[in-house]
Amino acid sequence: MLEAPVPESEDERQRTLDALRILDTSPEERFDRLTRIAKRMFDVPISLISLIDHERQWFKSKQGLEANETPRNISFCGHAILDDDTFVIPNALKDARFNDNPLVKSDPNIRFYAGVPLRMSNGEKIGTLCLIDKKPRQLNAEDVSLLEDLATMVEQEIASMQLATIDDLTKISNRRGFFALAERALTFCKRSQRPASLILFDLDDFKPINDTHGHAEGDAALIAFADMMQQGFRESDVFARLGGDEFVALLTNSDAGDVEDILTRFSHLLDEYNKHNPKPYTLSFSAGVANIPHDSEYDLASHIAIADENMYKEKLRKKDSTNT
């Protein structure tokens, strides 16, 4: 095994990492969502945001791994931060630097590794966004580009820890966060020739909740609906509160049939909430769908507009049904 040498600017690199005050902090959804997306997009068992500390690598976000940290001297990420390019090991057993590494010889039995260095504004590299597989594999140029796009998002989140991508009330993504994640998800669908679906939600009769029961109760309704979204959608789906009582979800590798199943399951979740959480009102929604083929020429805003038009039609249908 070959331990990674210490970078020439190690003192400045460590000061940059320490100044972020991110080490040993609690998990955060904005980072966990990116590692979940990376894990699903590349179909790997493990994806990590790994930060290289003095004597350890510590995981700010982890999917598919129980450990919170490992020694720095056996880390693959310690090698990855030495270069500017994405660091790829197709088969660790055939690489003299890693073939007798404890992480290769035993759990998690690393064979494939790909790590993109996370560079801060001063140029120092504090860690990586990385993929790990238990079997050898390769990444093509488009795969590397997509992984680097996700790493750029991690860099942006780290460099601006207070960046407003999370809705303050519901703690899910807001409009800005949704567009950042969804545009990259659509890029992946286009490259891999997979369909996607966008669902726009609007809470039914939300204004009367505020007017009759007060804004605190209206806020509680919005929080409850966001909680239902987190329970009802897949980990890889991108969902957000766009504003007011309007929510959105983007489902990758999903067609019209998948959307119907998901909306049915989501409606059942909401029914259970209404049944077991008695309120002086019930939560319900209208939804509009935009089906997105992989070769669609429309941008994300256009898909949202299409879903909005379909949602408006759904509201009119409900209104007509009520009046008859």
According to CATH, the topology of domain 10-159 is Beta-Lactamase (3.30.450)
Give the mean pLDDT of 27-41. 92
Residue 164's pLDDT band (boundaries 50, 70, 90)?
low
Query: Cα–Cα distance between 281 and 209 in angstroms, integer?
Result: 7
Let me know: does 189 contact 195? Beta carbons within 8 Å.
yes
Same fold, 10-159 and 175-323: no
Six-digit token string for 215: 């804004």
Residue 48 reports pLDDT greater than 80:
yes
Across 296-307, average pLDDT: 92
Confidence of residue 324 (pLDDT cuts 50, 70, 90): low
- Distance set, CA 304 to CA 57, 190, 282 (Å): 41, 17, 26
Question: What is the per-residue burial (b if ≥16 Cβ within 10 Å, else e) of 126-161?
Answer: bbbbbbbbeeebebeeebeebbeebbbbbbebbeee
Asked if residues 64 and 47 have their Cβ atoms less than 8 Å apart, the reply is yes
Superfamily name with CATH number, domain 175-323: Reverse transcriptase/Diguanylate cyclase domain (3.30.70.270)
Q: Please state the rounded mean pLDDT for residues 271-293.
A: 90
pLDDT at 94: 95
pLDDT at 308 over 90: yes
At residue 107 the predicted structure's pLDDT band, cuts being 50, 70 and 90, is very high
H or E segment to which residue 238 belongs = strand 238-243
Residues 6 or more apart whose Cβ sits within 8 Å of residue 8 = none
**pLDDT tens across 193-228, in order?**
999 999 999 999 899 998 888 999 999 999 999 999
> What is the predicted pLDDT for the residue at 95?
95
Has residue 145 got a pLDDT over 80? yes
Whether 277 shows a pLDDT value over 90: the answer reads no
| More reliable by pLDDT, 130 or 296 | 130
Question: Domain-by-domain residue ranges, the chain?
Answer: 10-159, 175-323
The pLDDT value given to residue 190: 86
Residue 287: helix, strand or coil by DSSP?
strand
At 278 the pLDDT is 80
Percent share of the chain, pLDDT over 70: 97
Of residues 256 and 1, which shows the higher confidence score? 256
Collapsed DSSP state (helix, strand, coil) of residue 21:
coil
Confidence of residue 127 (pLDDT cuts 50, 70, 90): very high
| CA 89/CA 301 separation, integer angstroms | 38
Q: What is the mean pLDDT of the chain?
A: 90
Strand (E) or helix (H) holding 79: helix 77-80
Name the pLDDT band for 323 (thresholds 50, 70, 90).
low
pLDDT of res. 297: 85
> What DSSP string describes 259-286?
HHHHHHHHHHHHHHHHHHS--SS---EE
